[in-house]
Amino acid sequence: MDQPSVRGDVTVSAPPALTCLWLVKTVGDLLKQYPDLRLHLRPSNSPKEVIASDVDLCIRYGDGIWPGRRSERLTDTELFPVCWPDLLASGDIRDLADTPLLCAANGHEWDLWLATVPQGSILTGGRHYLGNHLAMIEAAVGGLGLAMGDNVTCQRYLESGVLVRPFAESVRAPSSFFLIDAGNHERRPAVTAVRQWILESFNRERALAA
């Protein structure tokens, strides 16, 4: 039996940091495989889009519970500081003592890491609150301080050397990334193809990290 044609529009809503720092850097393979697919990306954290009728797939950071929606865990999240390499040029983490700590929003992830990692006590710099995770990571790329990175959004920057990890220690975040949908898209091959690509991409990256 012929496979159904993968063509048409698919709308994916994902957090801005995940959209810009992971999704757009990896989605090229999907679009090459399905040239008739038209992908619409919405960088957003809005809870309304989880149930919006014009959104096919959502990626969200949370506990996995979204009433009325199917959710599948993509990956747990490991938290660790990252910075511009020149800030650690000496190789001595003590040189980071007065470096500002960059926070995405409320600084809770920094609080968690500092409470868990004894070495973190050397970090006595003040905090800057950048409003969201994407702004925080890009501020770190610009050399403005230490950001609380993670194993998903920072992966490409770490692989390329744009950012480095001054501490080996990481802590498990209380939330994870989940793929969410209404559970009724099987009749739309394009949505099924994008959903499967997202799941396989995260499975592959978890296997490489193991």
Dihedral sign, Cα of residue 43, residue 46, residue 49, residue 50:
positive
Q: pTM to 2 decimals? A: 0.89
Beta strands of the chain (E only): which ranges? 8-14, 37-43, 57-62, 70-82, 101-103, 127-129, 146-150, 171-181
The pLDDT tens digits along the chain (210 residues) read: 345 688 999 999 999 999 999 999 999 999 999 999 999 999 999 999 999 999 999 999 999 999 989 999 999 999 999 999 999 998 899 999 999 999 998 999 999 999 999 999 999 999 999 999 999 999 999 999 999 999 999 999 999 999 999 999 999 999 999 999 988 766 789 999 999 999 999 988 776 665
Spatial distance between the Cα atoms of 152 and 176, rounded to a whole number of angstroms: 10
